Structures are given as structure tokens and as C-alpha cells.
Amino acid sequence: MALKKTHRVTPFLWFDGQAEEAARFYVSVFKKGSKVTSATPMSVSFVLEGQPFLGLNGGPTFKFSEATSFFVDCKDQKEVDYFWNALLAGGGKESQCGWLKDRFGLSWQIVPKALGKCLGGKDRAGAQRAMEAMLKMKKLDVKKLEAAYKGK
């Protein structure tokens, strides 16, 4: 598991035999600054947008759960749509409020910057409306969040 030591904390993901397949999938989704750095039958090292990861083919004992997820900060609806669709490809499952599970069972939060602006805005009633709108969504919709914040 050769990995250039640039980060003190590295996510370590336990897979049931598909660590390299998952790493190559994630690298294809997060293209910029992403690559598989090494792979063996037991493990894979990879980088997603500069963040190193390790994957282990540890077997079926442990499974991913929503208790751990990766937050993808999206600048706009176009990025939300891209990451949402890309990570669902091949058998992923939608959840609520911008969450999904990819085909390997890993949870992701696909979140536009607009959500933080709406929920953290000075208009507390608007923030509440945006929260209520979000709770009804699967994939987050920037226009609907902003409209709810504005009371439209």
C-alpha cells in the first residue's frame, strides 16, 4: 500500500473483493487530481481530487453504513446533477436530502453551496422553508431551495 505521505488522516475503506474496481470507478467520477497509485490483490491506493484513500479487500465481515459518508461540495446544479448521476451509475440507490449510496454501498452527500446559503441565511423563516423543501427532496434542487428561502 504505497502512498505518498502528504495527509495525516487517510480514509480507509473496507470492500468485499472489489476495492480496485471501486477505486477506478471513483477516479473516473472525480477526474481532476484523481488517480489509482497502486493496486494489489488485497489493497488499492488512490487519490480523489488530492485526497488519498486506501481500499482493502477485507471480505464480507464489515459493510458500509450511512454512519459514514463523503460530502461532495458542489458549486451549482450542474455539478450536483453530474455527481448525483455518476455516483448512482451501475446500481446505486437514491436516498433523501442529497444522500445516495453508490453501487459499492458507500454513502455520499451531494450538496450545492446554495443549501448552506439558504440554511444559514439571515432570514430564519426563509431558512426554515428551505429546510422543509430539502426534506422533501432526494437529489437537491438549487432553484427549489432558493425559491423556498425567498417564500416563492
**Separation CA 57–CA 41 (nearest Å):** 8
pLDDT class of 7 with cuts at 50, 70, 90: confident
H/E run at residue 14: strand 12-15
pLDDT in tens, 37-68: 999 999 999 999 999 999 999 999 999 999 99
pTM value is: 0.92
**Domains recognised in the chain with CATH numbers:** 9-63 (3.10.180.10), 64-152 (3.10.180.10)
**Separation CA 144–CA 117 (nearest Å):** 13
CB of 35 closer than 8 Å to CB of 50: no
Question: Which residue carries 429546510 as its cell?
Answer: 131
